[in-house]
């Protein structure tokens, strides 16, 4: 980056200086968060996805994260989601090459949806999860029940994560982010609401983290010498019976002990408490106009249930500080960073990296503006209208600063 404005603080300057993340070096400590792009129709990464992440890299971030790359066909949450396999390598290589040309690194967030899926077909009758029984997510698509994973299932899924990480490496990604939050499979193991197992993988918070830690170990063994392996967790799930900060402290300590290079601290659950992810109200239409009647009806119920929340900067900072106090592994602060002052405060509190989402969707070159002294604060209003945009033909964008380009989102990345 250019020489920093002399009026900027040493903490802000430090955030924009090169930084070693595990086995790689980033040009700064600011990471674009994984936010569902909606730019892989039929699972094919598009030129719109390439442009989205290229713009983040050109805007100055140290690393940009491609969201929700599934480890298998059954692991997808919805049909228009990337699956990390041989067919997607050529498309993702276009993306990572574009990011690298702009001087940034690229991270692949890899995940398995578990019981949280809206696929028209599965290879099994019911989706898998930590425990069997009623499937809350299934209310959205009529898949009312789920099966508890057996030990054989766990071994197979663990290998799927390893295989996906290797595909990401082949595709030119610099880092792997294991999604252990927001209600996906690994977080279903962490959650006391979802995980009611009676074996060594359920019960206490220490037991519930065992399978996610096994996945972390396996991915570290496969790629960890050359790629940082990041874990993203929910510090609290935000609904009755869900995971608490106390649970997250246990999980973070375990993931740290098992060698995670970085832990990204998020919150919330997609189905039960999406507002906790964003720290503000979820707008109407979040299910998307093309979704089923049942899904749209269920999201309307969530509209009625969500508490009155007013957005404020750094809305997850108090919870994150509790984990910072007891974990030595590098931690990334996420949640309401919209200004130079916010970056400075998170850096002063000892967080090694800053993760930003909506503010960069609103203005991909925000960091350049901060650096040049042209801005001190993002114009993002936290309206969350970018969230339902993922279901539009053009994919995720800021409703205030951009226009839809659906044509670009119909062109495969390598075409």
Kindly give the pairing relationship between strand 133-134 and strand 145-148. Answer: antiparallel
The answer to whether 113 and 75 are in contact (CB under 8 A) is: yes
pLDDT in tens, 234-243: 999 999 999 9
pTM score of the predicted model: 0.94
pLDDT for 141 equals 77
pLDDT for 298 equals 55
pLDDT in tens, 353-373: 999 999 999 999 999 999 999
Report residue 3's pLDDT band, with 50, 70 and 90 as the boundaries.
very low
The answer to whether 188 and 135 are in contact (CB under 8 A) is: no
**Is residue 281's pLDDT more than 90?**
no
Distance CA 63, CA 56 (A): 8
* 304 φ, ψ (degrees, to nearest 5): -70, -30
Beta-bridge partner residues of 110 = 69, 178
| Nearest residue to 42 via CA among 292, 390, 412 | 412
The answer to whether residue 184 is catalytic is yes
Domain 10-410 top-level CATH class: alpha beta
68, 184, 315, 391: the catalytic one is 184
pLDDT for 300 equals 59
The answer to whether 351 and 333 are in contact (CB under 8 A) is: yes
- Residue 108: which H helix or E strand, with range? strand 105-111
All structural domains of the chain with their residue ranges: 10-410
* H helix runs in 228-365, sequence order: 245-257, 274-278, 293-305, 317-324, 340-348, 358-362
Contacts of 412 (CB under 8 A, 6+ apart): 44, 45, 46, 47, 91
Contacts of 2 (CB under 8 A, 6+ apart): 371, 372
């Amino acid at each position: 980056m250019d020489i920093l404005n002399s009026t900027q603080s040493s903490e802000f300057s430090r955030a924009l200086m090169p930084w070693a993340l595990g086995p790689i070096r980033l040009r700064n400590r600011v990471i674009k968060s994984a936010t569902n792009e909606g730019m892989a129709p039929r699972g094919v990464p598009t030129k719109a996805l390439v442009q989205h992440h290229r713009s983040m890299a050109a805007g100055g971030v140290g690393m940009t994260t491609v969201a929700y790359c599934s480890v298998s066909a059954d692991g997808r949450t919805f049909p228009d989601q990337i699956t990390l396999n041989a067919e997607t390598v050529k498309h993702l290589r276009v993306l990572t090459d574009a990011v690298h040309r702009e001087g940034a690194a690229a991270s692949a967030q890899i995940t398995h949806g578990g019981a949280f899926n809206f696929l028209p077909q599965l290879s099994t009758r019911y989706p898998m999860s930590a425990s069997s029984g009623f499937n809350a997510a299934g209310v959205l698509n009529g898949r009312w029940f789920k099966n508890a994973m057996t030990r054989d299932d766990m071994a197979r899924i663990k290998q799927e994560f390893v295989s996906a990480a290797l595909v990401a490496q082949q595709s030119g990604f610099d880092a792997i982010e294991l999604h252990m939050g927001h209600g996906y499979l690994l977080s279903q193991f962490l959650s006391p609401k979802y995980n009611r197992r009676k074996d060594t993988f359920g019960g206490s918070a220490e037991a519930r983290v065992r399978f996610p830690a096994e996945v972390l170990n396996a991915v570290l063994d496969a790629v960890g010498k050359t790629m940082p392996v990041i874990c993203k967790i929910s510090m609290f799930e935000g609904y009755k019976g869900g995971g608490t900060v106390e649970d997250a402290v246990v999980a973070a300590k375990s993931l740290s002990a098992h060698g995670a290079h970085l832990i990204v601290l998020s919150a919330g659950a997609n189905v039960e408490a999406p507002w906790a992810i964003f720290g503000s109200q979820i707008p109407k239409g979040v299910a998307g106009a093309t979704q089923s009647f049942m899904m749209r009806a269920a999201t309307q119920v969530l509209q009625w249930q969500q508490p009155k929340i007013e957005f404020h900067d750094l809305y997850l900072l108090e919870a994150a500080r509790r984990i910072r106090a007891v974990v030595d592994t590098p931690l990334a602060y996420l949640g309401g960073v919209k200004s130079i002052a916010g970056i400075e405060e998170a850096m002063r509190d000892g967080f090694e990296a800053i993760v930003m989402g909506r503010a960069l969707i609103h203005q991909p070159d925000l960091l350049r503006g901060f650096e040049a002294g042209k801005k001190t604060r993002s114009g993002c209003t936290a309206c969350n209208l970018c969230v339902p945009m993922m279901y539009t033909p053009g994919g995720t964008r800021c409703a205030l600063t951009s226009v839809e380009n659906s044509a670009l989102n119909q062109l495969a990345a390598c075409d």
